[in-house]
Amino acid sequence: MTEKGSYDEYMAIAELYDYVVPYRERADVGFFVQAARESGGPVLEVGCGTGRVLIPTARAGIEITGLDLSPHMLAVCRERLQAETKEVQTRVRLVEGDMRQFELAQTFQLVTLPFRPFQHLTTVEEQMACLGCIHRHLAKGGKLILDIFNPKLETLVEKDFGKEIAEEPEFSLPDGRRVIRRHSVVSRDVANQINNVELVHYVTFPDGRKERLVQAFPMRYLFKFEAEHLLARAGFTVEQLYADYDKSPYGSKYPGELIFVAGKSMD
């Protein structure tokens, strides 16, 4: 994990992010937009990235603040916003900041962390700091949606460290670059529940030149009961737990996601 202004884990790939096929096809946008609509806004998206969820939310008429540590991801988001109407643009506020320590001088009806930004936090201290900040920014009666993956036990015992797995279709960028992305777990810190992950991008330029871009980061996995205890410690009550963005209940599929909808249990 990095401090604001230092090394940015998303720097090398921010301009590729919106073209990655599994990101482009991720079936969570409708879920988060509906939750934003139901909340009435304003919404805070923690780890908003390039605006994959934030921009459709603003298009749906909801005021939304996006907080992100990566100036490169935020730059892509700002550029995308340029193509939106003035009405959409005025509903959005972008803040470069750290989810472990932020003060926005505003409260929100809904706080979301779509697509696992929380799992970039590798210690309980960081997780509690983040949840504490969110708690302070949540309006009375407001909701938190914490979106993390459900660790698959079979995967956690695999030992093919460093093996690059290519399961995704190639994608192209508007300037003609073609990209094949592979992923690998380079090591696993079982004691601290951390997978050290690399997303490796093999880029071919239209003139045949080649480049290898690596996004390397630690990813903390959390189990259901652990996340529930964390939320309780931070002053939240879990109201729903979904296994998928179609609202399938936890346990209905394996491994599925862990999508917690929580309210404040105390102020």
Ligand X SMILES: C[S@@+](CC[C@H](N)C(=O)[O-])C[C@H]1O[C@@H](n2cnc3c(N)ncnc32)[C@H](O)[C@@H]1O
d(CA 219, CA 199): 12
d(CA 265, CA 267): 7
Considering the complex, state which of residue 16 and residue 209 has its C-beta at the smaller distance from ligand X: 16
- List the one residue from 16, 69, 131, 146 that touches ligand X (CB under 6 A): 69
Beta-carbon contacts of 240 under 8 Å, excluding residues fewer than 6 positions away, are: 247, 259, 260, 261
CB 179 within 8 A of CB 203: yes
# chain residues binding ligand X, by CB under 6 A? 19
Say whether residue 70 binds ligand X (CB under 6 A).
Answer: yes
d(CA 17, CA 23): 7
Which 3 state secondary structure label does DSSP give 224? helix
- List the one residue from 16, 43, 44, 53 that touches ligand X (CB under 6 A): 53
238 to each of 29, 88, 100, 138, 245, how far by Cα in Å? 21, 32, 21, 15, 17
- List the one residue from 42, 117, 142, 235 that touches ligand X (CB under 6 A): 117
Q: How far is the CB of 98 from ligand X (least distance, A)?
A: 4
Q: How far is the CB of 7 from ligand X (least distance, A)?
A: 12
CB 73 within 8 A of CB 17: yes
Beta-carbon contacts of 163 under 8 Å, excluding residues fewer than 6 positions away, are: 184
Both tokens of 16, joined, read 């590729």
Q: How far is the CB of 24 from ligand X (least distance, A)?
A: 10
Q: How far is the CB of 8 from ligand X (least distance, A)?
A: 7
Considering the complex, state which of residue 14 and residue 231 has its C-beta at the smaller distance from ligand X: 14
Say whether residue 42 binds ligand X (CB under 6 A).
Answer: no
Site for ligand X in 75-114 (CB under 6 A): 98-100, 114
Say whether residue 13 binds ligand X (CB under 6 A).
Answer: no
Both tokens of 200, joined, read 């490796």
- List the one residue from 91, 120, 181, 220 that touches ligand X (CB under 6 A): 120
Residues of the shown chain interacting with ligand X in the complex, contacts defined by CB under 6 A = 10, 47-49, 52-53, 67-70, 73, 98-100, 114-117, 120
